[in-house]
Amino acid sequence: MAHDINYNSHTEKHSFFSVKQKAWHGLGQIIEDYPTSGEAIRHAGLDYTVERRPLFTVDKPNLVTFKDPDADDYFDEVTAGILVPDFYANVREDTEDVLGVVGKDYQIVQNMEAFSFFDSIVGGKDGILYETAGALGKGERIFITAKLPDYIRVGRNDCIEKYIFLSTSHDGYGSITAAFTPVRIVCQNTLNAAMKNHTNCIKIRHTSSATERLKQAHRLMGLSNLLANELEQVFNQWSKIRITDEQVKRLVQMAMAPNPETLQNLKQGKTGEFSTVYNNVVDAVTSYAFTSPTQQDLTTKGTLYGAYNAVTGYYQNVRNYKDGESKFKSILYGTGLQRGQTAFDLCTAYAKTGAGVLN
């Protein structure tokens, strides 16, 4: 399936939920009120556990009966296989699907624990609102988005909601990743950015203890508060800095440069060296910058803040994607995130040194 959302044949439901709005794939359960963590797990079909089981090589798989590894006669039944030392299969207990092969130091983080990580940040339902959650593949990857209290405010009426996004897996690949993700309400534009020496995400290895994960949860909340306060100051400052249309185009050209060669040609004025694809992307971003209704607000029209929103808004509201999942990945992990960070860094430099940074 292109959307890759897990389908549970036992419940005959897709493992996904969202509050009030359908997500990119139009699947899963749509609910009206924000759920508790326990309710969110059930709505998203994440109420399964994962068990680590020994691995064996098998000469005659059709003749071998595997029993409970805790049973006294377990190894008596395994007469046609060899135990694979220090490696295990992570098995989803409700479906018996093998989700991945892991080493001896790998520590399973159950889905309930992932939600507990969120609950521990600001004290459960009264502080954090679960908005979406789901599982991908056979259930080997899960993701959660939750809304934090209050807003980042730019000017009087331009509000940015504060989200935390978490993803983890049971397949042995990657860390637990949690990121602070601001979203501009008026156009659902994701404004991910790392500032100064502060990243907007943390990564936790699957070998970490529950105590360590709890510490990281509180660290993430502190990081989110810090970034929210700093971004509010930065965006309000940018909303007061004027930038010409020509400078906006130049900033967009630099932010969207796909490689160092394109950027070098741009700085040397070799416009004839640009590809058609690159020129079309730049035109699309600048068109969005100058014509989108959300770019005509007091905070965005002719401002540095508007220039930054033009780049990030292109990936959210203009660019065509193969499917909704590709869009989701681009904005949170991929090209959309990278180009947005480049635009953020250029705007930061522009605010400090002026238009000379665009030369």
Position 302 scores a pLDDT of: 97
* Separation CA 224–CA 193 (nearest Å): 11
Sign of the Cα pseudo-torsion (40, 45, 49, 55, in order) = negative
Distance between start and end Cα atoms, the chain: 46
- pLDDT block averages, 10 residues each, the chain of length 359: 72 87 73 90 94 84 52 51 90 95 91 83 67 92 90 94 91 87 91 77 79 73 86 96 97 95 90 90 97 96 97 95 83 91 96 92
DSSP string for 120-134 = HHHTSTTT-EEEEEE
* pLDDT number for residue 188: 86
Interatomic CA distance for residues 359 and 352, integer angstroms: 15
For 154, the token pair is 């730019």
pLDDT computed for residue 184 by the predictor: 93
- Which residue in the block uniquely carries the two structure tokens 């790998």? 106
Which of 14, 279, 31, 15 has the alpha carbon at shortest distance from 134?
Answer: 15
Tokens found for residue 28? 């899963």
- The reported pLDDT for the residue numbered 283 is 97
With tokens 């299969």, the residue in question is 89
Percent of the chain with pLDDT over 70: 88
Asked if residue 114 lies in contact with residue 168, where contact means CB atoms within 8 angstroms, the answer is: yes
Determine the distance from the C-alpha atom of residue 1 to the mean position of all C-alpha atoms in its chain, rounded to a whole number.
Answer: 20
DSSP assignment, residue 178?
A: E
At 147 the three-state DSSP class reads: strand
Please state whether beta strands 141-154 and 129-136 pair in parallel, antiparallel, or not at all (unpaired): antiparallel
pTM of the entire predicted model: 0.83
Q: Where on the phi/psi map is residue 96: left (φ > 0), alpha (ψ -120 to 50), or beta?
A: left
| pLDDT one-digit tens code per residue, 317-351 | 999 998 777 888 898 889 999 999 999 999 999 99
Q: How far apart are CA 155 and CA 170, in angstroms?
A: 43
- Cα radius of gyration (the chain): 24
> How far apart are the C-alpha atoms of 39 and 96, rounded to whole Å?
24
CB 160 within 8 A of CB 181: no
* Residue 61: count of CB within 10 angstroms of its CB: 11
Pairing of strands 158-169, 176-184: antiparallel
Q: Give the length of the chain.
A: 359
Contact at 8 Å (CB) between 250 and 257?
no
